[in-house]
Amino acid sequence: MFFVQAILPLVPYAILAGVAGIIFGKWLGIFIAWIGALAGTLSIYLLARYTGTGFFQPWLKRKYSLNLKDMDLKTLFLLLLSVRIFPVLPTPLINIGSGLSGVPPAVFIASSALGMMPWAIAYVALGDYFNRSRNLGLSLAILGILLIIFLSGVYYLRKRVRFLEGPGDK
């Protein structure tokens, strides 16, 4: 199910991962959610990389003056890791865009694996916690703290990621 969600996100990942925590418990749920989402993410990246790079790389370079293929690998890794941890872009856009723009597979896999892990842990652990908890007040407080952290990261990255805007898009 996580594989399909990564390809066609009809059901939010947070809900699926939370349900995995309820059904499988914390550790197995984290493993299933993380590996399944990573496999789906990688399949879309590879499909885009090996079917559309010839057309889209020159177009991206012209339209946005952006060539991820020539970017420093450390900077590229940190950029992709950041947008995974603080999702300011939709996941399918990250997966397809990375494949089309020529992001090296090792950089994509490493940044995706590390960047997806915190959310897999958080959502599955919350599902497991809600399954075992009787304290609604504490549960809502934890959700509120996670929401504040998430929104702070999104706000920060949206202020910092200006290069994704094309000329005249401001």
Q: How far apart are CA 97 and CA 119, in angstroms?
A: 21
108 inside domain? yes
Which letter, b or e, does each residue of 53-91 get, where b requires 16 or more Cβ atoms within 10 Å of its Cβ?
beebbeebeeebeeebeebeeeebbebbbbbbbbbbeeb
Residue 50 covered by a domain: yes
The structure tokens listed for 77 are 């890794």
Give the Å distances, CA to CA, from 32 to 17, 25, 82, 126, 139: 9, 10, 23, 15, 23
CA distance 107 to 94: 13
Instruction: Quote the pLDDT of residue 46.
Output: 93
pLDDT < 50 regions, the chain: 163, 170
DSSP-based helix, strand, coil % in the chain, nearest 5: 80, 0, 20
Does 28 fall in a domain?
yes
Number of domains in the chain: 1
Provide the pLDDT for residue 53.
67
For residue 11, what is the DSSP state?
Answer: S
97, part of any domain: yes
Task: Report the predicted TM-score, pTM, of the whole model to 2 decimal places.
Answer: 0.71
Whether 25 maps to a domain, the answer reads: yes
Look at residue 167 and tell me if it is in a domain.
Answer: no
Residue 166 domain-assigned?
no
Could you tell me the two tokens for 148? 């504040």
Per the domain annotation, does 170 fall within a domain? Answer: no
pLDDT given for residue 52 in this prediction: 75
Task: State residue 102's pLDDT score.
Answer: 83
The pLDDT score that the predictor gives to residue 3 is 64
Structural domain harbouring 23: 2-160
- Cα(162)–Cα(83) distance, integer angstroms: 13
